[in-house]
Structure 1
């Protein structure tokens, strides 16, 4: 979190947020957070999450657009953490920070369950439900109408959504050339309404909980954008296989179930599956740039160190993130 935001939070602002949502101080706990301050609270026997973001990072309109879309998905039956009103009936509460800007308070139903990873893997029932969830979200987003143009979320390639464009030109210009090449290709893709719309963009297993029946609740929609549906799919697989000792074999295990579940909820032409690779490449290079910029010494972070091991050489060699034929495997899963 940027220091200019962190330094503006104080006890009075937190107390004001508690008051606006009718939260008893003894039913309130800090949960952490990366880009926002996250708290858990209990009210009338139910569990919720309070998020304090800031207008220096997201405008009130962007937050309104986020929570309106979330509640559209929830109303349609998708497993997402629904946004709830403040005591005044608002989905977004603006709290002055004393310096001319605002903290933006939003609250959500707290997801039940926990991490879906079991013994270092993901079960077939979970992957089937995972595919169903992403497919259902895409089917519902095709029915979504933006209530207010001020609430419109960014496009997937907006500058604030592609961190590499700010980090890499100075840190690694050779990789930046390949970033631009990949972005040019992705920007050339058509955007038909049956394959492009609002997407989560970061629907990995760290942003969801699964209960004992493998029912999933997805949260953290802070980065939702207008993008290709296959971008969402690519991010699911990207994070599932990253740092796995046998990524191709693991992908062969989880992909058919995911795609089968997806197709039960949404109709996406399989021709789009070949674009999983360039969208994976986008996230690979974006993550590489973020780490170079923000984590100069990552030797003590096992996940980051594993990802960065040989990463520059792999990017410069223009290798696919994973050697896997998603279209062929999709055909096999649908015919089985």
Structure 2
């Protein structure tokens, strides 16, 4: 979270105001993190719930409402996902105004099951196949989804917050900027037919779903939902399974991981949806797009040190160095197509 937003959030006591709108005792809220939102967990009648507060600088109230409409549609059509909860006044969202910006609060059921972390997720072929199935089903539903309120709509892929704010990067990143223009120019040329383009989850990494003991996946955190090509939903999942491998030996590990993930993922995906081979061959382009977005996000609280020497996370420092080199050379993190 940007430091300026955090300062406003704390000074205006936004968490307590949001809690009151949902009749939550603020002392019972536990902060559990959030990259672009403030996310809390609480318990009521033995069940766990999530309170999420979104800065208006990142999302408009209409965009958050569109996200919730999408989730309600999916859960009503057989997708297991963390659903929204009405506020005390019967609203899906509560908007809290301040002179500087607004904040949008929403509550959700907490997803059942458990998160699979690293390194366990790197060898979970059964989950890859189930991810493929639920992704394929979601894409089929996206083809039929029409929000009746045109004013409540999620953004298109090119309006991603970090793509819109590439100037977060230091001036020295002129080669990365050149790659940004090259990637976006290429993607803008892709056709947007209904079989390939629609509303996607947009961030289906292993941190954004839980898995039950029976292997059932429950999705959550649709905050990055956007209109894009369905193949981007696949590329994003793959990216977070290969970017952990760095160094000289990393390339071979990334290729093996990519081939294995895609084999099991597509077995599940093809049971629900069909994607033309042309689109699978575009995965390297969308892998570059995801790396660019993640890379820009790493600089949002940049303090002037491009080596991030003050960080005690060696993996992060190695990744950001290797990521910059790939982006400057316009190369995907892995290419097995």
- Report the TM-score, using the length of structure 1 for normalisation: 0.88
**Residues of 2 paired with 1:175 and 1:12: CA distance?**
38
**Residues of 1 paired with 2:221 and 2:101: CA distance?**
23
Structure 1 residues 95, 311: closer, same or farther in 2, change over 3 A? closer
Structure 1 residues 102, 248: closer, same or farther in 2, change over 3 A? same
Preserved contact between residue 116 and residue 214 of structure 1 (Cα < 8 Å): no
Counterparts of 1:225-264 in structure 2 under 5 Å? Answer: 225-244=226-245, 245=250, 246-264=253-271
Of residues 124-133 and 239-248 in structure 1, the stretch that sits farther from structure 2 once superposed is 239-248
Aligned to 1:300: 312
**Residues of 2 paired with 1:6 and 1:129: CA distance?**
37
Aligned to 1:165: 166
Which ranges of structure 1 fall in alignment gaps of 5 or more residues? 326-336
Counterparts of 1:128-277 in structure 2 under 5 Å? Answer: 128-158=129-159, 160-162=161-163, 165-168=166-169, 170-244=171-245, 245=250, 246-277=253-284
Residue deviations 1:226-266, cap 9 Å, x none?
Answer: 10000110000011111234111122222111111111122
**Residues of 1 paired with 2:30 and 2:313: CA distance?**
27
Residue 110 of structure 1 pairs with residue 110 of structure 2: yes
Preserved contact between residue 164 and residue 286 of structure 1 (Cα < 8 Å): no
Preserved contact between residue 154 and residue 225 of structure 2 (Cα < 8 Å): yes
Name the SS for the 2:80 alignment partner. coil
Cα RMSD over matched residues? 2.3
Name the SS for the 1:34 alignment partner. coil
C-alpha deviation, 1:164, in angstroms: 6.2
Aligned to 2:95: 94
**Residues of 2 paired with 1:225 and 1:32: CA distance?**
22
Aligned to 1:54: 55
Counterparts of 1:27-106 in structure 2 under 5 Å? Answer: 27-97=28-98, 99=99, 101-106=101-106
Structure 1 residues 68, 302: closer, same or farther in 2, change over 3 A? farther
Residue 19 of structure 1 pairs with residue 31 of structure 2: no
Structure 1 residues 119, 102: closer, same or farther in 2, change over 3 A? closer
Residue 311 of structure 1 pairs with residue 323 of structure 2: yes
**Residues of 1 paired with 2:117 and 2:57: CA distance?**
35
Structure 1 residues 242, 83: closer, same or farther in 2, change over 3 A? same
Of residues 284-293 and 182-191 in structure 1, the stretch that sits farther from structure 2 once superposed is 284-293
Name the SS for the 2:335 alignment partner. coil
Name the SS for the 1:16 alignment partner. helix
Structure 1 residues 315, 14: closer, same or farther in 2, change over 3 A? closer
Aligned to 1:333: none
**Residues of 2 paired with 1:307 and 1:87: CA distance?**
45
Aligned length: 324
**Residues of 1 paired with 2:323 and 2:27: CA distance?**
47
C-alpha deviation, 1:6, in angstroms: 1.8
C-alpha deviation, 1:62, in angstroms: 0.9
- Report the TM-score, using the length of structure 2 for normalisation: 0.88
**Residues of 2 paired with 1:160 and 1:18: CA distance?**
27
C-alpha deviation, 1:277, in angstroms: 0.6
Name the SS for the 2:274 alignment partner. coil
C-alpha deviation, 1:317, in angstroms: 3.4
Name the SS for the 2:332 alignment partner. coil
C-alpha deviation, 1:188, in angstroms: 0.1
C-alpha deviation, 1:81, in angstroms: 1.1
Of residues 139-148 and 189-198 in structure 1, the stretch that sits farther from structure 2 once superposed is 139-148
**Residues of 2 paired with 1:126 and 1:279: CA distance?**
22
Name the SS for the 2:171 alignment partner. helix
Residue deviations 1:10-64, cap 9 Å, x none?
Answer: 5854333223212244543222222221111122322110011122332111111
